[in-house]
Chains A and B, each alone.
Chain A
Amino acid sequence: MKIYVNEVEMTIFNGARVIDAANRFINEFELYEKLRRLSVRDVNRNKISLDGELHEGDQIFLD
């Protein structure tokens, strides 16, 4: 399924969680320092847990 992390389109497996998308983004762009204090928000700027479930088209933002 397609999702968006920090406005970058990424393909990830169906049933992925926020942590999986964050891991994919961090590994893709080698932003490993983000792992130290990972905080994720949705498109409405609400905080979301790392084990939150993602769906096709979801947009998340790593702070």
Chain B
Amino acid sequence: MTENFDYSLIDWSRAQFALTAMYHWIFVPLTLGLGFIVAIMESIYVKTGDPDWKRITKFWMTIFGINFAIGVATGIILEFEFGTNWSNYSWFVGDIFGAPLAIEGIMAFFLESTFIAVMFFGWNKVSKKFHLLSTWLVAFGASLSALWILVANAWMQMPVGMKFNPDTARNEMENFWEVLLSPMAVSKFTHTISSSYLLAAIVVIGISAWFLLKKRHLVFAKRSMVVAAVFGLITSLFTILTGDYSAKVIAKHQPMKFAAFEGLSVGMRGAPLVALGIVSSSPDDPDNENVKDFAFKIEIPNFLSYMAFQDFNAFIPGVKDLMEGNEEHGIMSATEKIVRGRLAIDALAEFKAAKKAGDELKLAEAQQILDENFKYFGYGYFENNPQGLLPNLPLTFYSFHIMVMLGFWFLVFFALILLLVYKNRISTSRFWLKIAIINIPLAYIASQSGWITAEMGRQPWVIQDLMPTMAAVSKLDSGAVIVTFILFALIFTSLLIAELKIMFRQIKNGPKPGGN
């Protein structure tokens, strides 16, 4: 009986994690990118000795510091929430998942937090070169910490390098390098990190545009803009390339998520890419309320097949194929997977019983059934609720498309800004300067949409195919989680308001004179 699940507990636990992650992700991408932008600016200062560049560096460093503090505060909560709210998860995959978290602490956080102190307190106390080195180390440390946490996230989407051990009832790591270098980890890290650099470039350009519009600090604003636009042009290209690579990896390893990206209900050869679309409000299949067609769409023929498999005629499975199965293309139905998952779960129980009874024969038998069916383990939890295997399709579709469209727009925008700078018309192009300011919230929307796509699109899985959210959650009263959710929401929101007010005031005050 699915009613036995405390869905309210699962939903609130998810909401709490999403709340923390989304707040965390307001501050983190900016610091990731701004770290490098500041380092580039300081490098120019050290090379030229021009105090104006020092002034520029210090201004952006202040913005960095304001964001960094709150990124740290929200980050620690995420780390501990794996334990507090997802305790089964922590055991089931802790043998693999804990390692990157610990490595992140040992290798990256200390690097970051030590040299950030030199960066802020070290002016005039250490040599120019040592200070510059510290600034680069902070930028490097921040990206390194992103690497480890993204490796951990990628592993949840594509579990590799491990084997299930029925004795301990958990997955155990067998190959660290497979975890670190899986295609999902590579694509997740490169795409997330480059999109963060892009976001920071948009923010720097937007703030500089405001100064140009106000006709204040013109040299400062123009120089900042040039650095950011070059940085942004390169990183946005990289974001698009890694995004394309991510799509290929997802098409192969998370077909349901991929179908959700495109709202593809029925699979086909030569599938078109939906460039723009509005999901219909009525279900197109009476048996399946979650699967909806489009009320309106613009398509690029065959392009989805090409994007996924470099073949204009490749078959892309739709949501229905994945649910109902498709023999022609060798896709197993959800019902069959659920049966197999249930076999695996029962085999684990039998394994434990046989072990207790010392029955070698039954033990070997249970082990064999488990090994054969383990890849469907998580499906067993959906015995009476196969519809629970579907992600929220419209949300995934929209967030994916918003992210992609904005990504392409930013590439064009960076090129345009560089062109205007090159033609020496940037200060007078008031229209484009205003667009630059509007781009700031758009960059945050794109960045958050990326995570919504990645995390909502893989539902209901915490660990793809192996563990759904309902088997991962801690045994708590949903009331307790509601209380902490509200408290987190209140605190995070007031801190965000404080952060924004402080940042706006710092921007309004502008860079301090004399390079200080």
Co-assembled chains A and B: no
Residues of chain A touching chain B, judged by Cβ–Cβ distance below 8 Å, are none
Residues of chain B touching chain A, judged by Cβ–Cβ distance below 8 Å, are none
